[in-house]
Amino acid sequence: MSLRAKILRAVLRGTVRPALARAHDPARERARFDRWAARVFPPPRDVSLREITAGGMALRLDPPQAGAGMILYFHGGAYLTGSPRTHAWMVGALARRAGVAAVLPRYRLAPEHPAPAAFDDALAAWQALRGQGVAAGQMVLGGDSAGGGLALALLGHLCRAGAPPAGAFAFSPWTDLTLSGASLHGNARCDHYLPAERMTEARAMVLQGLDPADPRVSPLFADFPDPPPVLVHVAATEILRDDALRLADVLPGAEIRVAGDLPHVWPFFHAVLPEGRATLDATAGFIRGCLAPSLTDS
């Protein structure tokens, strides 16, 4: 681990994790996250941003000289917080590296809009882009944390429908709302970001009676017939480590990369974290590889 990673771990453990442990008002946390991201994490200057309609409002990011193909990306935030704007910083850097545009839908959040509202909005965004002429084979799904679970849930639905995307990737995905992963307890003390003791409360706000094993919220229990390439990144010390590792049971062809002692969704901190930049570089290469066959065929 780099010295910067060690410093970042200490900062997150002393500031963000205690704040999340005390948070009880999702609306207030959304506003705080939005203000913090706008001030500390502005989008890359050479990536253009514009709002578009893709089922609902979405943010489109276009890097310079973008080629054909597209990333359809779902932001994280436990289905309670976050927005396309909070994640434009990281996804813009990824889109620039991959050389393709990215679309970040604004999906409805709990507790005002419990599951499966987020999944319904994700599917609507996919269908809208398809209706606008974007081929399934020219899109790669992606997301982080809850958004990573959402991307994989959508992937399962599309595989079962026989029209999968070119590929999918996820950073530290939340794939199991039954909360049955051993790392949820085993890594409770060493996760630098997420407070394990709040996961049951967060789940209750999201589900509000929905079966936690429903594949629309827990893709760990989904079927993925004939899936495209899938890449998953997770850190060894995360409470969601086993949410990623157990994907090998339902996606045996997926590449699951386990990093060392890094914080949850560490690519978010790519500006200061060399490990974050390396992960974005690797993911960009994966995206280009997924899109290359369809673009050659077209």
Quote the CA–CA distance of 175 and 219 in Å, as a whole number.
5
Check 264, 270, 275, 294 and give the catalytic one: 264
Give, in order, the Cα–Cα distances in Å from 289 to each of 99, 101, 187, 197, 253. Answer: 12, 15, 33, 39, 15
* Known catalytic membership, residue 145: yes
Quote the CA–CA distance of 259 and 238 in Å, as a whole number.
10
Check 145, 172, 183, 218 and give the catalytic one: 145
For 166, the token pair is 């070119």
* Known catalytic membership, residue 264: yes
Q: What is the 3-state composition of the chain as percent helix, strand, coil, each rounded to the nearest 5? A: 45, 15, 40
CA nearest neighbour of 147 among 187, 186, 104: 104
Angle of helix 117-131 relative to helix 146-160, nearest 10 degrees?
A: 60
Give, in order, the Cα–Cα distances in Å from 101 to each of 1, 154, 203, 271, 285. Answer: 31, 20, 32, 20, 15
What is the enclosing helix (H) or strand (E) of 126?
helix 117-131
* Known catalytic membership, residue 275: no
Quote the CA–CA distance of 164 and 162 in Å, as a whole number.
6
Say if CB 232 and CB 170 are below 8 A apart. Answer: yes
Neighbours of 157 (CB within 10 A): 21
Question: What is the DSSP annotation of 180-234?
Answer: --THHHHTTTT-SS--GGGHHHHHHHHHTTS-TT-TTT-GGG---SS---EEEEE
Check 75, 238, 270, 294 and give the catalytic one: 238
Instruction: Tell me which residues are annotated as active site.
Output: 145, 238, 264
